[in-house]
Amino acid sequence: MKPDYRKIYQDIIALKYPEKEVRCRDILQNEILSLKDVMKLNSIIFEKLDIENQKHKSYDKEMIFYILDYQKKNNLNNIQLAAKFKMSRNTVTKWKKLFKI
């Protein structure tokens, strides 16, 4: 069972960031929030994240393939990709080995 991201983000916006409601409305109106949508919401709401907040992320296969495909399409190396998605370059390397890309 997945968390109800829509409810979580609606509560965060209502309680802490009501000024960002307009920017998030289109994404929150989607019937199903994908991990990409969650990442977009996260970047809109929490513009300046610190490293501690990034330590416990989890990705499903769909998102991993999206990130690796993004790397191919934009000709990024592992360091550039890791910086773009705020993750470890070792994670990117591990995914490439794991999924033989």
**Domain residue spans of the chain:** 5-48, 61-98
Q: pLDDT (tens digit, 9 = 90+) per residue, 1-13? A: 778 888 999 999 9
Query: Is the pLDDT reported for residue 77 higher than 80?
Result: yes
pLDDT score, position 55: 60
Query: Is the pLDDT reported for residue 35 higher than 90?
Result: no
Query: Is the pLDDT reported for residue 53 higher than 70?
Result: no
Instruction: State the sign of the Cα–Cα–Cα–Cα dihedral 74, 45, 30, 88.
Output: positive
Query: Is the pLDDT reported for residue 40 higher than 70?
Result: yes
Name 76's Cβ contacts closer than 8 Å, sequence gap at least 6.
70, 84
- What span, in angstroms and rounded, lies between the C-alpha atoms of 84 and 94? 17
Cα angle, residue 13 at apex, residues 86 and 46 outer, rounded to 5°: 20
Model-wide pTM > 0.75: no
